[in-house]
């Protein structure tokens, strides 16, 4: 088996453990298999793959998502360095509505997070240079893009390091309205 899938406290968010085959030459690891991921809810084809590089320990990106009809499922993996990866459940009527969950993803631990539609995603770098790869079920659609401020007191995310770098764009994301009822999918 190339993957182990574990539930997290957020409904439908899965921790994915890749299982590399190792020998004296190095390793082989399956990164994605549609059949395996279908069994845990990724039932749409991958439409876009993005690659990011973030420099500077403590830098934060997020919390981003796309609204319907361009809501997307993401598979997020760290190719180099290490990040504290965060998912926030924004789905209306979800049993884990407005809760967050974080996991350390790194090149060494071969872990990924499966982020369902209706959840916001962001991360903080735990090393000086981090590369992530994202598999998306929908292409980027600017008019459907949205975000929540990483410092929103309603979420109270416990970032592991002091916040170092944050883009002006991410810094200006709004806090959730007090009457926010969630995203209808």
121 in active site: no
pLDDT the model gives residue 1: 72
Candidates 64, 101, 140, 173; catalytic one: 64
Domains and CATH numbers, the chain: 3-171 (2.60.120.10)
The Cα 113–Cα 7 span in angstroms is 10
Report the predicted TM-score, pTM, of the whole model to 2 decimal places.
0.95
Apex 89 CA angle, 83 and 94, nearest 5: 150
Residues 37-56: tens digit of each pLDDT: 999 999 999 999 999 999 99
Residues 126-142: tens digit of each pLDDT: 999 999 999 999 999 99
Contact 8/101 with Cβ under 8 angstroms? yes
Candidates 70, 101, 121, 134; catalytic one: 134
38 in active site: no
The Cα 153–Cα 107 span in angstroms is 31
């Amino acid at each position: 088996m190339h993957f182990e899938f574990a539930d997290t406290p957020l409904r439908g968010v899965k921790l994915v453990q890749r299982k590399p085959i190792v020998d004296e030459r190095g390793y082989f690891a399956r990164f994605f298999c549609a059949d395996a991921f279908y069994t845990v809810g990724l039932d749409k084809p991958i439409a876009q793959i993005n690659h990011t590089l973030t420099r500077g320990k403590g830098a934060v990106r997020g919390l981003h998502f796309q609204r319907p009809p361009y809501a997307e499922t993401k598979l997020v993996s760290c190719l180099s360095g290490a990040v504290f990866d965060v998912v926030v459940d924004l789905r209306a009527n979800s049993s884990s509505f407005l809760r967050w969950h974080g996991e350390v993803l790194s090149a060494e631990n071969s872990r990924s997070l499966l982020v369902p539609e209706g959840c916001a995603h962001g991360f903080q770098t735990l090393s000086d240079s981090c590369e992530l790869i994202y598999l998306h079920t929908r292409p980027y659609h600017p008019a459907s893009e949205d975000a929540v401020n990483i410092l929103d007191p309603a979420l109270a995310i416990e970032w592991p390091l002091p916040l170092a770098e944050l883009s002006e764009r991410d810094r200006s994301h709004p806090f959730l309205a007090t009457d926010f009822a969630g995203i209808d999918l």
